Amino acid sequence: MSSSSYLDSASRHHTYSRKQKSLGLLCSNFLKLYNRDDIESVGLDEAASKLGVERRRIYDIVNVLESVGVLARKAKNRYSWKGFDGIPKALQELKEEALRENFCCTLGSSSNYLKVFESDEDEKPSIEQSGENAQEQWSSKDYPPSDVSFKKQMDNRREKSLGLLTQNFVKLFLCTNADMVSLDDAARLLLGDSPNSAQMRNNSAAKVRRLYDIANVLSSMNLIEKTHQTDTRKPAFRWLGVNGKSDSVPAPCDKPLNVRQSNKREFGSDITNIDFKRTKALSPIDEKVIKVPTNCEASGQHDPMQQEKGSRGYVYGPFRPVPLTKGNDREKEKTGKRVHDWENLASAFRPRYHNQALTELFAHYMEAWKSWYVEVAQGTKHKAHLAIH
DNA sequence: CGATCCCGCCAACTG
DNA sequence: CAGTTGGCGGGATCG
């Protein structure tokens, strides 16, 4: 019962908000749900139902998370959770791989493209067993050991995968000395847009969609930040690195500053993504397709309406302040204070508000704002002329 | 309008 | 062959 109230309220203020279903938000929720030390395995179905989204969406997230080392494919329907701790290593490997492949570039102006080759294999699973026999790569039970077997178009599919795209996207940052890349450049670079081959895969537009997808989940992890070129207003991405603190990125030289520390991003109010269809699915006869078992309290809850815009489009969902925790550290607190057992709760029924996380987030928002304010106050356009050019 | 990007069809890949 | 993965791009939303 009560499931109808969703539709009811949805149709009432027929306000379908795309923001509430964004990949980034979903990723945040995914992270909130699994980013704890007692997690070591993640099931796709499990995640999908807990988060209240279709399976397809989980794949999107999982793919990019895996590319960054947060997850590792363990088996069908199963991923092992590495957590944020896995990121540094993954990035390191990506960087090495990039160098090895001469992925590096000069990222010139828009007229300076460069192709991104993908030699053969991609990254190694994770563990490097003194590989003298590194032929244990992905799948391929026993591919022809003979020669490279022409082309080896193996993974013709993987060629254009979100995962690979993600890795290349990240490599872009790891290799470049400027940590800001515009959307177009990224698209151009990752596309392997050919110089004169006219209507080559002109789908740059199509690829851009993927880029947005990737950017969204990467953003939700605070690895990057969506912005725009300081004067061109052109959309761009800035590398933030692992948890705000510059990680192992080489380039310590140039690039003036860049207060790389802005934890923000609209984290959602509700972990579950109730199924408010887009306005179309008005299936006449078809029953309401509510996939979430639901029946949590279904009255006035949810209320997507009450969110207020932050200074720059960051929305805060309705959160519920919690007495406990003054948390100042995200991701794995040192003071192993055993909070609630959300894991269980989550299993029992759909979790709704993640008090603790939200509280922490709020603190971070404040912090981020402060730093921004300072940053802005001290010469708005000033640390701008770096990046691309 | 153009920039974003969600949705979900359906093909490729497993098992 | 059924189930799992996940390209791909139509078209709704956002700004």
Å: A55 CA to C3 C1': 13
Closest CA to A94 of A129, A135, A126: A126
Q: Note the pLDDT tens digit of each residue in A139-150.
A: 333 333 333 433
Which tens digits make up the pLDDT trace of A67-78?
999 999 999 999
Give per-residue pLDDT as tens, A299-330: 333 333 333 333 333 333 333 222 222 333 33
What average pLDDT is seen over chain A?
60
A25 Cβ within 7 A of any nucleic strand C atom: no
Closest nucleotide to A73's CA, by C1' atom?
Answer: C5
More confidently predicted of A103 and A261: A103
pLDDT at position A335 over 70:
no
Type of residue numbered A189: L
**Hunting for tokens 């055993």 — which residue is that?**
A338
Bases of strand C lying below 7 A from some protein CB: 4-15
Nearest-CA residue to the C1' of C14? A18
Q: Is the CB of A226 under 7 A from strand C?
A: no
CA A3 to chain centre: 30
The alpha carbon of residue A378 and the mean position of all alpha carbons in its chain are separated, in whole angstroms, by 31
Query: pTM (2 decimals)?
Result: 0.61
Indicate the SS3 state at residue A351.
Answer: coil
User: Which one-letter DSSP state was computed for residue A121?
Assistant: -
State whether the beta carbon of A62 lies below 7 angstroms from any atom of strand C.
Answer: yes
Strand partners, A315: A309
| Residue A134 CA distance to nucleotide C4 C1' (Å) | 27
Among all strands, which nt has the closest C1' to A63 (CA)?
C6
pLDDT at A122: 39
Sequence length of chain A is 389
Q: In this model, does residue A107 exceed pLDDT 50?
A: no
